Structure 1
């Protein structure tokens, strides 16, 4: 009897995974506890570093002359590669500014993940799906790598407070008007 319920439960879980092929974690606010890595010596004046990875996987099935791809696109903050040089922090206000700047880098990675999810969900793939999927990912990844560079250059790694404020507003607007997570497109 228990085996029968367990099998029904497992079938339900598998069905949910099939019907919901992509997953996105919610955007969150970083804390000092997210930075567990060792600071880099002689980091060219950089007091903190945020390292995120976009994990991009898919499975393909043929369907009426085209290929349906089920994606799993996840974004991770690599806590042990991300660091804050706490020895150079002199006040709680300075720490808050540093965390706000690093939040921007995390938000850029999150926005990239969300754009990849939206792009692949609305794409119809051919037999060349490997190249097509990687092309989408590489195009979007290059866009967000440039955005990360622009962010650090414009804010001078948070030193330019006026530019930092402009970027903070930009991120807030992008997050506010982002399509709902896991929404079908």
Structure 2
């Protein structure tokens, strides 16, 4: 329980730091390299690596107070200055695991784009977009945690392959909502 609370506190803190950090948007065909991970390793962590990813959203609200979905910019991002690895503990599977975390964020960015495009915004756009974002972000975080739990942070190779296949299927499912 303490670990969960600590993890949630860290995620909230990192969410605030992400806004101030350089970001690398998700791109089809581009995979992460260890050189993308620029933070110093967390020596207190029992993990071998940490890819910090998330979703950013910029939008425009018209003079009438209504959000214009056509001017909405939604990106899945990797934050190099908040991502790290311990060279002595990593292998090829570790990097693939971290890439899948990034891909999960892209799936949710696509889901967010779809939700925004299909929603009929009103003069209450700020509250409406916030509600959509919170739902997508909650789903993203839950999926990230489930991925780590089921794969035992890349230890369970069979579960890792299932997740990679399922995330690739979701990327295909939402391909019309790719950036």
TM-score w.r.t. length of structure 1: 0.75
Task: Give the superposition deviation at 1:160.
Answer: 0.9
Aligned residue among 25, 29, 32 for 2:31:
29
Task: Give the superposition deviation at 1:32.
Answer: 1.2
Aligned residue among 125, 128, 133 for 1:132:
128
TM-score w.r.t. length of structure 2: 0.78
Bigger-Rg structure (1/2): 1
Question: Does the 8 Å CA contact 1:67/1:125 hold for their aligned counterparts?
Answer: yes
State the alpha-carbon separation in 2 of the partners of residues 156 and 25 from structure 1: 24
Change (3 A) 1:25 1:39: closer
Which consecutive unaligned segments of at least 5 residues does structure 1 have?
Answer: 1-23, 90-94
Change (3 A) 1:163 1:42: same
State the alpha-carbon separation in 1 of the partners of residues 95 and 165 from structure 2: 16
1:5 is aligned to: none
2:41 is aligned to: 39
Structure with a larger share of its residues in strand: 1
1:98 to 2:94 alignment: yes
Structure with a larger share of its residues in helix: 2
2:144 is aligned to: 148
SS in structure 2 of the partner of residue 53 of structure 1: strand
Any runs of at least 4 consecutive aligned residues in structure 1 with deviations exceeding 4 A, and if so which? none
